[in-house]
Amino acid sequence: MSLSVYGKTNLTHIKGINSIGLHSGTGFVNSWDVGLSYNYYLAKYWSFSTNIDFEKGKFGKSDFMGLSLGFGVEAAVWQPLTWMYIHLYGHSIVGWDWWNNSDMNISANGVTVGCDLGLNLEMYAIPELSFVLAAQENFNYGFYDIGHYYYFRPLFSAGMRFHIK
Q: What's the whole-model pTM score?
A: 0.86
What is the distance between the alpha carbons of residues 148 and 126, in angstroms, rounded to a whole number?
46
Count of all residues that appear for the chain in the document: 165
Query: Over pLDDT 90: what percentage of the chain?
Result: 67
pLDDT reported for residue 122:
96
Over residues 46-103, the pLDDT tens digits come to 999 999 999 998 877 889 899 999 999 999 999 999 899 999 999 999 999 999 988 8
Q: Do 136 and 155 contact (CB within 8 A), yes or no? A: yes
pLDDT reported for residue 1:
37
Go through the domains of the chain in sequence order and give each one's CATH number: 4-164 (2.40.160.20)
